[in-house]
Structure 1
Amino acid sequence: METAGPLRFRPAVPDDVPALVALIESAYRGEASRAGWTTEADILEGQRTDPESVLDVIGKPGNRLLVVERDGDLVACCRLERRADHAYFGMFAVRPTAQGGGLGRAVIAEAERFAAEEWGVAAVHMTVISVRTDLIAWYVRRGYLRTGEMSPFPYGDERFGRPTRDDLEFELLTKKLG
């Protein structure tokens, strides 16, 4: 687990795209992801994102792709999308070798602060693959509620990876802010 200097939060810029794609891929897919506990390598193969998708988020109105740096190195990121009365939280990645030391908690706290203070929204929503029970439990410990509301996994769309099982779906988690 990596630790060092203070965290710096800032909005992503187009020059960050290659590093962001590498970070997101390393946190979710392939052997590098196994250094952390948030890997999806056992349920999905292939890509988690691509440069075009990340660049689209950076340039899309109502979105904030938050970059987190420590000592000048990119260590985490997350996406917020403003949707009516809530913010959607996603594209959350923490460098696998930095997981388990409170960095993820700090990132989600900053995302929630931003959503409440800058956008004035009352809640944060996210979707998590329902078989990711450890990850869902982590979010529940951060105050997120399981809704039981499910949505289908986009089978056949390799932009989201190639599933290794046929029972994947997303569960909506929500948290009221303030």
Structure 2
Amino acid sequence: MASELTFRTAGPADIPALVALVESAYRGEASRVGWTTEADLLAGRRTDTEGVADVIAREGSVVLLAERDGELLACCQLERREGTAYFGMFSVRPERQGGGLGGEVLARAERLAREEWGAAELEMTVIEQRADLIAWYERRGFSRTGEYSPFPYGDERFGVPLRPDLRFERLAKSL
């Protein structure tokens, strides 16, 4: 029988493991084991040590780690904003995807945003072409807002686009 999933806040010592987790969930061949891969849309890196360090150190930001028996299985970032909380950097190890772990992490993030921060809404941005991922969020109460922002073409910190029409859509959920 599997032990219970535990949550804790990430610190600087967790940065290498976080970078590896995020990269494995979204980019390269390893990501194809799971269903959240962006490998057909973007090449290159999803994040790096400096980016994760910035998120961990940022005022009003927290990175939650989900572990079982000390093994990092998933993570997400929450950032406090005016009346809302931003949800990002959501990653589940590819071989663990599809088993409910992501739903547990999302539920924990929602509770923290609502109960500890008093946020009325959880928001995020998702690449518009990720229909399967958007549908997953819709099944969990998020709505498409029809608000779009451009993909940062030319900034390889966000990856190397493999198509010319990428953009982000804002999704939101009342808490």
Partner of 1:164: 162
Q: 2:28 aligns with which of 27, 30, 41?
A: 30
Give the 3-state SS of the residue equivalent to 1:74 in structure 2.
Answer: strand
Q: How far 1:6 moved relative to its partner? A: 1.1
For residues 105-159 of structure 1, the C-alpha deviation after alignment (integer angstroms, 9 at most, x for no partner) is: 0000000000001100100000000000000000000000001111000000000
Question: What SS does structure 1 have at the residue aligned with 2:55?
Answer: helix
Q: Tell me the residue number matched to 2:120.
A: 122
What residue is the counterpart of 1:92 in the other structure?
90
SS in structure 1 opposite 2:98? coil
Aligned mates of 1:57, 1:5 — CA distance in 2: 29
Distance 2:2 2:92 in 1: 15
TM-score, normalised by the number of residues in structure 1: 0.97
Q: What residue ranges of structure 1 are gaps of 5+ in the alignment?
A: none
Q: CA deviation at 1:5?
A: 1.9
1:161 aligned partner, one-letter code: G
Cα RMSD, aligned residues only: 0.8
Cα distance per residue 1:43-95 (max 9 Å; x no partner): 00000000011011111110011111011100000000000100000000000
Within the alignment, does 1:83 sit opposite 2:84 as a pair?
no
2:68 and 2:22 map into 1 onto residues whose CA distance is: 16
1:1-40 alignment, distance < 5 Å:
4-40=2-38
> Once the 2 structures are TM-superposed, how far is the Cα of residue 18 of structure 1 from its aligned partner?
0.2
Paired residue secondary structure (2:59):
coil
| One-letter amino acid of the counterpart of residue 118, structure 1 | E
| Identity %, equivalent residues | 67
Distance 2:95 2:69 in 1: 15
Structure 1 runs of 4+ with >3 Å offset: none
* Aligned partner letter, 1:77: C
Aligned length, in residue pairs: 175
Return the letter of the residue paired with 2:103.
R
1:50-89 equivalent positions in 2, closer than 5 A: 50-89=48-87
- For 1:35, what is the secondary structure of its paired residue? coil
Runs (5+) with no aligned partner, structure 2: none
Aligned with residue 42 of structure 2, among 31, 41, 44:
44
For residues 49 and 103 of structure 2, the distance between their equivalents in structure 1, rounded to whole angstroms, comes to: 26
Cα distance in 2 for partners of 1:139, 1:104 equals 11
**Distance (whole Å) between structure 1 residues aligned to residue 132 and residue 158 of structure 2:** 21
Inter-partner Cα distance in structure 1 for 2:32 and 2:3: 25
